[in-house]
Amino acid sequence: EAQVTQNPRYLITVTGKKLTVTCSQNMNHEYMSWYRQDPGLGLRQIYYSMNVEVTDKGDVPEGYKVSRKEKRNFPLILESPSPNQTSLYFCASSLRLASSTDTQYFGPGTRLTVL
Amino acid sequence: DAKTTQPPSMDCAEGRAANLPCNHSTISGNEYVYWYRQIHSQGPQYIIHGLKNNETNEMASLIITEDRKSSTLILPHATLRDTAVYYCIVTGPRGAGSYQLTFGKGTKLSVIP
């Protein structure tokens, strides 16, 4: 089954404790992206990757890192989480998102709470 | 990317057509109109997209005005499972051929029995 998976689905952590949220897709998609969703603010893009070893900042990249060493994986790294990073996080992928037939497929979400 | 304006909420009776409007008066010639929806806190789900012509698929129809400054998503026979937040997104290429999706606040559609 074609899908985007994220782990963990729920995480409660403390300020400053490094964490990684994994994202994996099995559709051989080139383009992957991370979003965060906060009440009243909609979804905002954190980082995106157009292919292996190619990443770029989205609209709210501060406090986050990403890597794209393999095509299928795009982990989101919080080196020193802070309470303002408490949010619902979504990973997404698409074939290229550069043609009229590309759409983004979203993972189930990771609810992160930073105390 | 062009900004979009959607009503914050709408109601629709079950079994009736739901017509969700979106204004995108600053859309440029190479920008597409995409619609996604998000049911509760699940990941957003793609519905449909178009450039100039009206489009239809198994989920919905997309009507784009001739001047492309507005569009309407039509769910022909709304069911309770269509209750969700619907996002209208206008996007075009942003460097090296990549497209970005910027999600606004969307329209909360409530389908009422």
In angstroms, the CA B95 to CA A58 distance is: 13
In angstroms, the CA B39 to CA B42 distance is: 6
Contact with chain A for residue B57, Cβ under 8 A: no
What pairing do the DSSP bridges indicate for beta strands A10-13 and A110-114?
Answer: parallel
**The pLDDT of residue A92:** 94
- Contact between B103 and A31 using a beta-carbon 8 Å cutoff: no
Among candidates A94, A101, A110, A99, which has minimal Cα distance to A33?
A94
- Contact between B103 and A102 using a beta-carbon 8 Å cutoff: no
DSSP for residue A4: E
- Contact between B46 and A98 using a beta-carbon 8 Å cutoff: no
A42: which chain B residues are within 8 Å (Cβ-Cβ)? 87, 103-106
Say if CB A4 and CB A24 are below 8 A apart: yes
Query: Does position A37 have pLDDT exceeding 80, yes or no?
Result: yes
- Contact between B103 and A92 using a beta-carbon 8 Å cutoff: no
Residue A20 neighbours by CB under 8 Å, 6+ apart: A75, A76, A77, A78
**Tens digits of per-residue pLDDT, B54-96?**
999 999 999 999 999 999 999 999 999 999 999 999 887 665 5
Contact with chain A for residue B8, Cβ under 8 A: no
* Between residues A59 and B18, the one the model is more confident about: B18
**Tens digits of per-residue pLDDT, B26-56?**
998 888 899 999 998 899 999 999 999 899 9
**The pLDDT of residue B92:** 73
Distance, in angstroms, between A40 CA and closest chain B CA?
A: 7
Distance, in angstroms, between A42 CA and closest chain B CA?
A: 5
Dihedral in degrees, nearest 10, Cα atoms B74, B76, B79, B84: -10
Among candidates A64, A57, A66, A67, which has minimal Cα distance to A80?
A64
Phi, psi dihedrals of residue B16, rounded to the nearest 5°: -90, 165
Hey, is B82 helix, strand or coil? Answer: helix
Q: Is the dihedral of CA A85, A90, A95, A97 positive or negative?
A: negative
**Tens digits of per-residue pLDDT, A18-35?**
999 999 999 999 999 999
